[in-house]
Amino acid sequence: MTTTHHPINEICGATWEYTGPLEDARGCPLNLTGATIQWRLDSADGIANVAACDNAIVGGIQIIDASCALILVTVPASVTAAIAPGNYIDWLIVTLADGSVLYEWTGVIRAAAKPA
């Protein structure tokens, strides 16, 4: 089950952080043992990938509380500095150990230029 979040406002060149529990269709915490978790930022038209991170990258996605399937996505300022101001679509994609692919959330990210 994919959840659509409200639009999020961010600043290019700042660290972006997102957190949330990952749940199955019944609302139970996902078993993240052996899972790959990926966050993607795509162009608004869905044609180009602008940024991505996963749980294999140190500082990318961390499992904060395994029993609750609570994660923290951190997109460092060094990555967001290369993003042009504009509207984007983000995705959180979980591939479970059994190969099942779940799209946990999606929504609009509005990236603004860093204030002078």
Calpha distance 15→35 (Å, rounded): 25
Residues in a beta bridge with 47:
none
Mean pLDDT per 10-residue interval, the chain, length 116 residues: 90 95 90 92 94 80 89 93 96 94 95 92
Whether the CB-CB separation of 64 and 71 falls below 8 Å is answered with yes
- Number of compact structural domains in the chain: 1
Cα–Cα distances in angstroms (integers) from residue 96 to residues 30, 54, 55, in the given order? 9, 13, 12
pLDDT at 45: 93
Domain of residue 83 covers 3-112
Which of 20, 8, 23 lies closest to 63 in space, CA to CA? 20
> What is this structure's pTM?
0.90
Task: Find the CATH number of the domain harbouring 21.
Answer: 2.60.40.10
pLDDT at 1: 65
